[in-house]
Amino acid sequence: MIHRLILFVVLLIPVLASARPLSVFVSVLPQKTFVERIGGDHVEVQAMVRPGHNPHTYDPTPRQIRDLTKAVLYVRTGIPFEQVWMDRIRSANPDMQVLDARAGIDLRIIEHHEHKHEEEHQGHHHNEDHGHNAGSEGDVARDPHIWTSPPLVKRMTANIRDALIELDPPNSQDYTNNYHAFAAELDRLDSEIHAMLENVPTRKFMVFHPAWGYFADTYRLTQIPIENEGKEPGARALTALIRQAKGENVKVILVQPQFSQQSAEQVARAIDGRVVAIDPLSPDYVNNLRKVAQLIAEAASQ
Ligand code: ZN
């Protein structure tokens, strides 16, 4: 009996050793959720932009750069800090695969965003006027917040599935099964949100930072950003925004913890609306999206 137990333990050791999870890095927290949903126990995921930090100005810590040497995959999404850091991230571990989550996705043009060029952001010490910039795509700033639309997340997770299968063929069946389960959940979420928002009379909502553009496009809504080039708007712009909000019957203004809420509160007071904090970077992806849809639907039927 004892012998059998020892044999069992001895046989188990190599299995455990080979089952070390793949180390994966992503840029923002929702992508961590997506990779975990596809990878399950086979992956160990770290988000570069830690909770509460601003992806526009984030600087990876020396420890994160060190941890990159163990990573086999980096999933990027085109957010501003990548334009400053991607070369150093790659050179920290040249063997690491880099998957661009934007592959196969038509990028929308972002509303009223800063049109800064990469050259202006060279070096370590970029300051807070660092917004979404155009990168190598010319003068038009593309919206990097692709994860706010469930159908786009479905496409993104198919890319993640393919990357994991390539890195780890023995577990390909798990990746395929996990993808099917998550894709079905995303489909349900998508129809649920369509049903919630299909007939709401007010199709515009206000946001401080324009992070909900793909969400808005998917459900035939329009986001009106308060932010001006990454900063609080001036007095004249604020007056115009208040007039617009009244004219469009906007009742809700979405803010996120990484940005200032001051001007959002000023607008809310003037229009008798309310400011609601909702974080587009929440790792609780499905519930968070459902919540934002509910908020917009409720505010629109007031
Ligand atoms: Zn952003």
Q: Ligand 1 centre from 13 Cα, in Å?
A: 45
CA angle 249, 252, 255 (to 5 degrees): 140
Could you give the 3-state DSSP secondary structure of residue 210? coil
Ligand 1 geometric centre to CA of 132 (Å): 7
pLDDT over threshold 50, residue 122: no
> What is the reported pLDDT for 268?
93
Distance, in Å, from the CA atom of 84 to the CA atom of 274, rounded to the nearest integer, reads 36
DSSP state at residue 48: S
Per-residue pLDDT tens digits for 165-215: 999 999 999 999 999 999 999 999 999 999 999 999 999 999 999 999 999
Give me the phi and psi of 50, to 5 degrees please.
-75, 160
Residue 114's pLDDT is: 43
Write out pLDDT tens, residues 125-146. 333 334 444 444 445 688 999 9
Spell out which residues have Cβ within 5 A of ligand 1, the ion.
211
Average pLDDT over residues 55-62: 92
Instruction: Map residue 248 onto helix, strand or coil.
Output: coil
CA of residue 43 to ligand 1 center, whole Å: 27
At 121, the pLDDT band (50, 70, 90 cuts) reads very low
CA of 276 to the centre of ligand 1 (A): 17
pLDDT at 16 over 90: no
| Cα(102)–Cα(147) distance, integer angstroms | 10
d(CA 144, CA 194): 23
Neighbouring CB atoms inside 10 A of 142's CB total: 19
DSSP state of 109: B
Average pLDDT, the chain: 87
More confident residue, 192 or 301: 192
* CA neighbor of 78 nearest in space, from 53, 99, 50: 99
**What confidence tens digit (pLDDT) does each residue in 240-275 have?**
999 999 999 999 999 998 888 889 999 999 999 999
